[in-house]
Homo-oligomer: A and B are copies of this chain.
Amino acid sequence: MPTISVENYLKAIYHLEQQGEEGGLVKNKAIAEKLEISLPSVTSMLKSLADNGLVVYERYKGVKLSPDGCSQALNVIRKHRLIELFLVETLQYTWDEVHSEAELLEHAVSDKLAAKIDAYLGFPDSDPHGDPIPSVDGQVRVSSAIPLNQCSPYCTAIIKRVLNQSPELLRYLKELGLVPGSAVDVVSVQAFDGQMNLSVNSTQGETSAIITAQTASCILVLPQ
Q: Are B104 and A116 in contact (CB under 8 A)?
A: no
From A105, which residue of chain B is reached at the shortest CB distance?
B108
A108 contact set on B, CB distance < 8 A: 104-105, 107-108
Q: Which of A87, A93, A113, A117 has the most CB of B within 10 A?
A: A113
Q: A52-96 vs B: 1/0 string, CB under 8 Å? A: 000000000000000000000000000000000001001111000
Chain A contributes a number of interface residues (CB within 8 A of B) equal to 17
A110 contact set on B, CB distance < 8 A: 101, 104
From A103, which residue of chain B is reached at the shortest CB distance?
B108
How many Å from the CB of A219 to the closest CB on chain B?
28
Q: Is A109 on the interface with B (CB-CB < 8 A)?
A: yes
Q: Is A192 on the interface with B (CB-CB < 8 A)?
A: no
**CA of A67 to CA of B104 in the docked complex: distance in angstroms?**
27
Interface residues of A in 103-138 (CB under 8 A from B): 104-105, 107-110, 112-113, 116-117, 120
**CA of A109 to CA of B104 in the docked complex: distance in angstroms?**
8
How many Å from the CB of A119 to the closest CB on chain B?
8
Q: Which of A91, A92, A109, A110 has the most CB of B within 10 A?
A: A91
How many Å from the CB of A197 to the closest CB on chain B?
38
How many Å from the CB of A104 to the closest CB on chain B?
4
**CA of A135 to CA of B105 in the docked complex: distance in angstroms?**
22
**CA of A224 to CA of B116 in the docked complex: distance in angstroms?**
39
Q: Which of A93, A116, A120 has the most CB of B within 10 A?
A: A116
A91 contact set on B, CB distance < 8 A: 113, 116-117, 120
**CA of A117 to CA of B120 in the docked complex: distance in angstroms?**
17
A112 contact set on B, CB distance < 8 A: 101
Listed by A's residue number, 6 A-B pairs whose Cβ atoms lie within 8 Å are A90-B120, A101-B112, A101-B113, A104-B108, A104-B110, A105-B109
